[in-house]
Structure 1
Amino acid sequence: MGFRKPATFAVMCTGMFVVLLDVTIVNVALPSIGRGTGVTHVADLQWVIGAYQLTLAGLLLFGGALAERYGHRRILTTGFVIFGLASVACALAPGLWTLVAARAVQGTGAALLLPATLAVVIRLYTRREEHARAVCAWAVVTSLSLPAGPVLGGLLVELLGWPWIFWINVPVVVLVVAGTAYLVVESAPEPRPLDVTGAVLGTAALALVAFTVIETGRLGAWPPVFLLPAALALAAGIAFVLTERHRAHPVLPVSLLSRRPIAVSTIVAAGMNFGINGVIILFSIFLQVVGGHTPIESGLALLPLFVPLVLLPAHAARTAARRGPEPVMLAGLVLLVAGFAPLLALRADSGYGALVVGMTLIGAGAGLLTPAIVALAMTAAPPAGEGLTSALNTSARQAGGVLGVAALGAIAGDPARPAAFVSGVHDAAIVAGAVYLGAALLTLVTRSETAGPFTAPRLR
Structure 2
Amino acid sequence: MRNWWPLVAVCLGAFMLLVDVTIVVVALPVLGPDLGASFTDLQWVVDAYAVALAALLMVTGTLADRFGRRRAYLAGLTVFAMASLACGLAPNAAVLNAARVVQGVGAAAMFASTMALLQLAYRGRDRAIAFGVWGAVTGAAAATGPILGGLLTEHLSWRAIFLVNLPISVAAAVLAVGVLAESRDPAARRIDVPGAVGFTAGAATLTYGLIRAGTHGWTATGTLAWFAAAAVALAAFVVVERRRRHPMLDLGLLRRASFVGVLVAAALVSAAAFGYTVYTSLWLQTTLDLGAVGAGLALLPMSGAAFVTSAVTARRLVGADPRLTVCVGLVLVGVGALTQSPLSAGSSWPSVLPGLLLAGVGVGVILPNLSAAAMAAAPVERSGMAAAALNTARQLGFALGVAALGTVFAHRLAPDPLTDRAATAAALSEALLAAGCVGLAGAGVVALLMRGGTTHPGAPAPRHRAPDAPGRSGHPLTDAR
Question: TM-score of the superposition, structure 2-length normalised?
Answer: 0.90
Distance of 1:458 and 1:125 partners within structure 2:
23
Q: Is 1:449 aligned with 2:445? A: no
Q: Does 1:174 align with 2:170?
A: yes
Q: Contact 2:310 / 2:368 at 8 angstroms: preserved in 1?
A: yes
Aligned match of 2:434: 431
* Equivalent residue number for residue 37 of structure 1: 35
**Are residue 50 (structure 1) and residue 38 (structure 2) matched?**
no
Equivalence map 1:290-329=2 (5 Å): 290-329=287-326
Range moving further from structure 2, 82-91 or 307-316: 307-316
**Conservation of the 8 A alpha-carbon contact between 1:72 and 1:116:** yes
The match for 2:273 is 276
- What one-letter code is carried by the residue in structure 2 that aligns with 1:163? R
Distance 1:203 1:319, change over 3 A: same
Match of 1:102 among 99, 102, 116: 99
Alignment partners' CA distance in 2, 1:82 and 1:110: 8
* Residues 262 and 87 (structure 1), Cα distance of their counterparts in 2 relative to 1, 3 Å cut: same
3-state SS of paired residue (2:402): helix
Tell me how many residue pairs correspond in the alignment: 456
Where 1:345 maps in the other structure, the secondary structure is coil
Q: Which moved more, 1:338-347 or 1:83-92?
A: 338-347
2:467 aligned residue = none
What is the alpha-carbon distance in structure 2 between the residues aligned to residue 371 and residue 105 of structure 1? 30
Stretch moving more, 102-111 or 326-335? 326-335
Give the AA of the match of 1:399: L
Deviations 1:98-155 (A, max 9, x none): 100000000010011111122101222343x443332222111110001211111100
For 1:450 and 1:185, how far apart are their aligned partners in 2? 38
Is 1:326–1:372's contact at 8 Å kept on the other side of the alignment? no
Question: Offset at 1:421?
Answer: 3.1
Question: Aligned pair 1:225/2:228, yes or no?
Answer: no
The answer to whether structure 1 residue 186 and structure 2 residue 182 are counterparts is yes
Moved more, 418-427 or 407-416: 418-427
Look up the SS of the partner of 2:452 in the other structure.
helix
**Residue deviations 1:360-379 (CA, integer Å, cap 9, x gap):** 11111111111122221121
> What residue number does 2:200 align with?
203
Provide Cα deviations, 1:431-457, integer angstroms capped at 9, x if missing partner.
222222222112322454348765435
CA distance in 2, matches of 1:450, 1:102: 42
Aligned equivalent of 1:69, options 62, 66, 71: 66
Q: Does the aligned pair in 2 maintain the 1:375–1:457 contact within 8 Å?
A: no
Which one of 6, 17, 20 corresponds to residue 18 of structure 2?
20
Q: Which moved more, 1:59-68 or 1:179-188?
A: 179-188
| 1:402 alignment partner in structure 2 | 399
Please give the residue correspondences for 1:235-254 in structure 2 after superposition, counting only pairs within 5 Å: 235-254=232-251
Q: How many angstroms does 1:192 deviate by? A: 3.5
Matching residue of 1:7: 5
C-alpha separation in 1, matches of 2:334 and 2:254: 26
Kept after mapping to 1: 8 A contact 2:24/2:146:
yes
Following TM superposition, by how much is the alpha carbon of 1:189 offset from its aligned partner in structure 2, in angstroms? 4.8
Residues 338 and 246 of structure 1: CA distance in aligned 2, closer, same or farther (over 3 Å) = same
CA RMSD, 1 decimal? 1.9
**Quick check: 1:261–1:379 contact (8 Å CA) kept in 2?**
no
What percent of counterpart residues are identical?
A: 36
1:119 aligns with 2:134: no
Q: For structure 1, which segment, 163-172 or 437-446, has the greater mean C-alpha deviation from structure 2 after superposition?
A: 437-446
When residues 109 and 451 of structure 1 are mapped into structure 2, their CA distance, relative to the original with a 3 A threshold, is closer
Contact preservation (8 Å) 1:154, 1:296: yes
Q: Which amino acid aligns with 1:29?
A: A
Are residues 301 and 130 of structure 1, via their aligned partners in 2, closer, same or farther at CA, if it must alter by over 3 Å?
A: same
Which residue does the alignment assign to 1:163?
159
Q: Give the superposition deviation at 1:245.
A: 1.7
TM-score, normalisation: structure 1: 0.94
Q: CA offset at residue 317 of structure 1?
A: 2.5
Alignment of 1:319-358 (within 5 A): 319-358=316-355
